[in-house]
Amino acid sequence: MANKKKFKVTFNMLLFLIWILIFIGIAATSPVFLSPSYLLNVMLRNIIEIGMVALPMTLIIIMGGIDLSVGNIMILAATLGGLAAVTYGSAVAVIVTILTGLVCGLINGLVIVKAKISPMVTTLATMYLYLGISRGISKGSSIYSFDFATTMGTTSLFGIPVQVWIYVLLVVIFTVLLAKTTLGRKLYSIGLNENATQYAGIDVGKIKIAMYIICGLICALASFIWLGRFTSIKFDAGTNFNMKVITIVVLGGTSINGGIGSMIGTIIGTLIIATLNSGLTVMNIPIDVQTIVHGSVLIVALIAYAVVNSRAKKKKLIKIEAAPKQVASM
Amino acid sequence: MKKKLLQKIIAAAMVCILMVAAVAGCSKTETTPQGEQGGKETTGGKSDGKLVIAMLPKFKGENYFDACKVGAQEAADELGITLLYDGPPQDQATNQKQVDILEGWIAQKVDAIIVSPNDPTAIAPTLKKAQEAGIKVITFDADAQKDARDLFVNQITADAAGKGLLEAAARELKAKGYGADKKANIALVSGSGTDANQTAWEAAIEKYLATDEYNFMVIKNRETDVYYPGTDETKVNAECATLISRMGPGEDQIQAAIGLSSMATPALGAQYQSASQKPDANAITLTGLATPNALKTYIKDEENPMNVGMLWNCMDLGYLAVQVAYQLKNGDITTESTSINAGRLGTKEIVDRECVLGDALIFDKTNVDNFNY
Amino acid sequence: MVQEKKRTASFLTKEFYLAIFLLAVLIFLWIFAKGFYTINNIMSILNTYSYTLIAAIGMNMIIITSNIDVSTGALVSVVCLASAAIGKLGLPFPVLLPAAMVMGIILSTINGLFITKTKIPAIVATLATTQIFQGVLPLTTEGSIYDLPATFTWLAFEAKLFGIVPASVLMCLIITVIALFFMKYSRFSKKLYAIGNNQHSARLAGINVEKTIVITYAIAGALFGVTAIIIATAGQRVTTTMGSGLEMTLIASVILGGTSTAGGSGKVIGTVIGALILCIVSPAINYLGISPNWSDAIKGAIIMISVVVGAFQQVKKKRVIQIPKEVLNNGK
């Protein structure tokens, strides 16, 4: 048991090391980067929406699912909310946005669980669907922000942007949820062996639907921040959002096959991507080179992960029954 | 147990090596672009006291903005300043990417920013932030929200653009027998639907369509006859193919197509060229905005109904934008100024915080070879 | 044997429903969309359809092995630009086509090797290579390549069968026919299904799983190359993002055609119909007078309805029973 614990820490620490390396590298070449206002107001603010959605995405991927429609749920929620705000005011808009997130997540969950269609196919279809609806309803033009969203996107609390506070709060909630609750253990269990979990008397379907709904809700929350930050939104703003979220989760060492992963990893992954995003920009590195750097970092992390994973897989096969215990140890 | 530990160490070592390689690779590439910019610039932007002006196009990798960059670089060399140039890739021409780049520049405290926004309102908060940081904000090509920029360098007034395009189409159509007693249906291929310049041109075109001179041309159904394919090449091509197949002499067909983006117009030409049963060239016409290079083949082809293209001098646009940014920062002009002495371009007027480059450049088969951009 | 026949029959009905749906749409368009059936429109749809289908057949093979490739769009962009760089020299199409195919094979094989050697799940691995492809591209050329010679645009502008049918359609037809036979009768295709159904038992049955997957990616790469050259030669100008977003269209076509992303099932004919349905949507709604803003929503709804209906036919259960049989057949 002790050995396993050491191993877990090693992987996350490795990731942490990568982050520190990148961070120091950038800070050394570009002193501007280190200013607290840049770190808080630019680096963190720019990643918040993606980082936020990466949290429930980690849960979904750990239980062996995937959601390719998150960016589009976010845009659809913002679109409907923004339109509602024009005629009914801010309060109704908030309700509409949250409801949209909830319904979108519910649709994903229901189709995956009840029709037994693979999560990838389902969310690919809903990706088109949500994108198409927001494009059709907005007629391709911009949707403007409303009071509540503006507050969420632009105000600061004790000198720190309010969305950073929200993110930190969510990080705490999700980390505890995954590591310390039975629900978290059930998620690992589903990811490792769904049938076995079902036979163990756990209502897998219900948990799955709940996770997709949570994901939808977080997307709705992110949509307030996004809308507030930019004052307006367009249907294509979610381009690449989905893949970015998945990249972060995978970078954090969560296995796309399910059953393995941790919230800490995702958080470090978020920090790595945030540092790269804002750091390379401040160094005046052209966007194309930035893309290559992102890709390389992902590959490095993946290879590191693959090396440890070859052993983790063996463990996985043996430990199906002991899965909850293994989780508890981290 | 020991073996496992060894494996672990090897794995860690491997990762570290890869990591270092990646960092080394990225730091190597990092020096190249800066070297290209003349090696004048160090991090933070202005250790040697030179002004730093940053230019952000709607997207990179397409010849329209590339030509703007050439002119901007020319002005930068002339004035002895450093020019930074970056933008989103063509298929990700969204506001989010532009904001990412802008934030980096604001943190470095560049002296002026020249931007062509993809979305005039969504970029406004970031531009305002730049202004608060003491950076001069100039828009070029497309405008942003008026209160979020100091000056707008406009290539052409929307009025002139709309009129020029309609005139080009009208002349061709009249030559082909259309007029007051024989109406013509026209279609527009625009950009993404939120770009300030294209929206303004559309409005101007609609305005002129209502006048007696041009009212023989009609946009029958705004929903289907104005296309917004965005900046995605394959999508532009596919939608233009659909449009070409809807063209012809019939009343329920379309007689003239006008491209409003530098991608749409060449796509119209290409799709006509590759159509299986080409619509009768004597009954239809194609025209629009694009760089001369992109239309050369189609304009020179006798059988292609695309005979005239329109644009402005992109290089001059980039040149003027940098001149304006430089002089605004230096205090040679203010936002209240009414004119600017723009180097080789001579004196240009500034009206209502808007500096207009000049008239449209109309090119046809007689002069298309004279341009190289 | 009897069981085998039954399976074929039940599979046929699935594609049969899709075909019926397609037919219904076509009839609907015949009645309501005036001018839809002009030769011009049909040919331009067929041209789009050709390059979509050619790549979709490749994607179908990859998905059958229960892998996936999300880097296709970036890959096609790279090949487009590289072909244009060669085409600028005035080389004729017979040189450009194999060149594009070779480039496609090389890039796609990199994907294949990356996946098999590191054991990283395909979706993640190709996500990483997407970024590499996308990033390398603009570095190699400064922006777009334009003013390409007539030899380059020959395929789109000149090459017409009987003066009407674009040559790309002919290429697509040939590839489709070969694919139909290949995926039905060749031993290699049986290996693909076996791997998709259960990699471990396929390995136990004596299949060299890694090699097969790499070859699959290579074949798909060649097809992506063909697609790239059709897209690139559509005009005398090639920019850096010609293939962007293509991968999602391809995956959607394959899924709509009834191939399960879990692997091990799916037929070429399904993809043929699926791709056609998706290619018709955009032009169709334009002719029907609906704003193009709704096209994505309609595509999404079609995919959604189709997979949900498909799921309720419970093909899955049958598949599970047949794993050992497939594998046994192929082992020998």
pLDDT digits (tens, 9 = 90+) for A191-221: 888 888 888 888 888 899 999 999 999 999 9
- Over 60: is that where the pLDDT of C326 sits? no
Residues of chain B contacting A304 with CB distance shorter than 8 Å: 11, 14-15, 18
pLDDT of residue B46: 42
- Over 90: is that where the pLDDT of B90 sits? no
DSSP B307: E
pLDDT digits (tens, 9 = 90+) for A298-310: 888 777 777 766 6
- The helix/strand/coil state of A198 is helix
Residues of chain A contacting B41 with CB distance shorter than 8 Å: 284
Q: Which domain holds residue B109?
A: 47-156+314-357
Q: Once rounded to an integer, what is the mean pLDDT over residues C302-311?
A: 81
pLDDT of residue C160: 77
Q: Which two tokens stand for residue C122?
A: 């395909």
Domains recognised in chain C with CATH numbers: 36-258+267-331 (1.10.3470)
Please write down the HEC assignment for all residues of A36-80: HHHHHHHHHHHHHHHHHHHHHHHHHHHCCCCCCCHHHHHHHHHHH
Stated length of chain C: 332
Shortest CA gap B353–chain C (Å): 32
Domain count for chain B: 2
Contact C113, A269 (CB under 8 A): no
What's the CA gap between C45 and C51, in Å, rounded? 10
Average model confidence (pLDDT) for chain A? Answer: 82
**With bands split at pLDDT 50, 70 and 90, how would you rate the model's confidence at A323?**
very low
Establish if A139 touches chain C: CB-CB under 8 angstroms.
yes
Is B37 a domain residue? no
Antiparallel, parallel or unpaired: β C145-146 and B361-363: unpaired
A residues 219-248 closer than 8 Å to C (CB):
243, 246-247
- Over 70: is that where the pLDDT of A319 sits? no
Q: Once rounded to an integer, what is the mean pLDDT over residues A238-252?
A: 84
What's the CA gap between C90 and C154, in Å, rounded? 11
Do B186 and B216 sit in the same domain of this protein?
yes
Is B204 a domain residue? yes
Is B51 a domain residue? yes
pLDDT digits (tens, 9 = 90+) for C234-251: 887 888 778 888 888 898
- Over 50: is that where the pLDDT of C1 sits? no
Residue recorded with tokens 């595509």: C299
Question: CA-based Rg of chain C, rounded to a whole angstrom?
Answer: 20
Shortest CA gap B133–chain C (Å): 32
CA geometry: angle C8, C13, C17, nearest 5 deg:
150
Beta strands, E only, B238-346 = 256-259, 285-289, 306-311, 339-341
Contacting chains of C (3 CB pairs or more, <8 Å) are: A, B
pLDDT of residue C314: 54
Domains recognised in chain A with CATH numbers: 2-328 (1.10.3470)
Contact C43, C165 (CB under 8 A): yes
**With bands split at pLDDT 50, 70 and 90, how would you rate the model's confidence at B364?**
confident
Do B105 and B174 sit in the same domain of this protein?
no
Shortest CA gap B189–chain C (Å): 12
Do B183 and B303 sit in the same domain of this protein?
yes
Do B297 and B343 sit in the same domain of this protein?
no
Other CB atoms within 10 A of residue B160 CB? 18
pLDDT of residue B7: 52
Cβ distance C282 to B238 less than 8 Å, yes or no, reads yes
Among A237, A269, A227, smallest CA distance to A57 is for: A269
Do B167 and B246 sit in the same domain of this protein?
yes
Is B180 a domain residue? yes
- Over 60: is that where the pLDDT of C174 sits? yes
**With bands split at pLDDT 50, 70 and 90, how would you rate the model's confidence at A10?**
low
Cβ distance C132 to A247 less than 8 Å, yes or no, reads no
Other CB atoms within 10 A of residue C327 CB? 23
Largest Cα–Cα distance in chain C?
Answer: 61
**Percent of all residues in chain C with a pLDDT value above 70, rounded to a whole number:** 89
**Percent of all residues in chain C with a pLDDT value above 90, rounded to a whole number:** 19
Average model confidence (pLDDT) for chain B? Answer: 79
Contacting chains of A (3 CB pairs or more, <8 Å) are: B, C
Cβ distance C120 to A122 less than 8 Å, yes or no, reads no
Q: Which two tokens stand for residue C313?
A: 């036919």
Is B373 a domain residue? no
Among A59-68, B197-206, B343-352, which is the least confidently predicted range? Answer: B343-352
Residues of chain A contacting B97 with CB distance shorter than 8 Å: 287
pLDDT of residue A310: 62
Cβ distance B245 to C235 less than 8 Å, yes or no, reads no
Do B175 and B237 sit in the same domain of this protein?
yes
Exposure string for B117-131, b = 16+ CB within 10 A, e = fewer:
bbbbbbbbbbbbbbb
Contact C18, C306 (CB under 8 A): yes
pLDDT of residue C155: 78
Among B257, B320, B268, smallest CA distance to B294 is for: B268
Do B326 and B341 sit in the same domain of this protein?
yes
Cβ distance B86 to A286 less than 8 Å, yes or no, reads yes
Exposure string for B289-305, b = 16+ CB within 10 A, e = fewer:
bbbbbbbbbbbebeebb
Do B128 and B183 sit in the same domain of this protein?
no
Residues contacting B353, CB < 8 A, separation 6+: B146, B150, B151, B152, B335
pLDDT of residue C62: 92
What residue of A is the nearest CA neighbor of B192?
A140
Residues of chain B contacting C147 with CB distance shorter than 8 Å: 293-294, 296-297
Is B86 a domain residue? yes
Do B150 and B250 sit in the same domain of this protein?
no
pLDDT digits (tens, 9 = 90+) for A13-45: 778 888 888 888 888 887 777 777 778 777 788
Contact C111, C214 (CB under 8 A): no
What's the CA gap between A234 and B221, in Å, rounded? 23
pLDDT digits (tens, 9 = 90+) for B153-165: 888 888 888 888 8
pLDDT digits (tens, 9 = 90+) for C82-137: 888 888 888 888 888 999 999 999 999 999 998 888 878 888 888 888 888 888 87
Do B301 and B166 sit in the same domain of this protein?
yes
Cβ distance B193 to A303 less than 8 Å, yes or no, reads no
pLDDT of residue B361: 80
**Percent of all residues in chain B with a pLDDT value above 70, rounded to a whole number:** 87
Residues of chain B contacting C138 with CB distance shorter than 8 Å: 60-61, 89
Do B81 and B207 sit in the same domain of this protein?
no
Q: How is chain A split among helix, strand and coil, in percent rounded to 5?
A: 80, 0, 15
**With bands split at pLDDT 50, 70 and 90, how would you rate the model's confidence at A290?**
confident
pLDDT digits (tens, 9 = 90+) for B214-264: 888 888 887 788 888 877 778 888 888 888 888 888 888 888 888 888 888
pLDDT of residue C12: 53
Antiparallel, parallel or unpaired: β C160-161 and C165-166: antiparallel
Is B53 a domain residue? yes
What's the CA gap between C273 and C254, in Å, rounded? 9
Measure Cα distances from C18 to B211, B336, C270, C279, C311 in Å: 51, 66, 8, 14, 13
Do B236 and B121 sit in the same domain of this protein?
no
Residues of chain C contacting A243 with CB distance shorter than 8 Å: 70, 127, 130
Is B13 a domain residue? no
**With bands split at pLDDT 50, 70 and 90, how would you rate the model's confidence at B18?**
low
Contact B115, B123 (CB under 8 A): yes
Contact C155, C168 (CB under 8 A): yes
The CATH number of residue B203's host domain is 3.40.50.2300
What's the CA gap between B56 and A46, in Å, rounded? 18
Cβ distance A289 to C301 less than 8 Å, yes or no, reads no
Among B232, A73, A74, smallest CA distance to C300 is for: A73
Q: Which of A321-330, B76-85, B285-294, C170-179 has the highest mean pLDDT?
A: C170-179
pLDDT of residue C17: 80
Q: Which two tokens stand for residue A301?
A: 């992390």
- Over 80: is that where the pLDDT of B121 sits? yes
Measure Cα distances from A146 to A88, A92, A119, A237, B324 in Å: 11, 11, 33, 18, 35
pLDDT digits (tens, 9 = 90+) for A80-109: 988 888 888 888 889 999 999 999 999 999
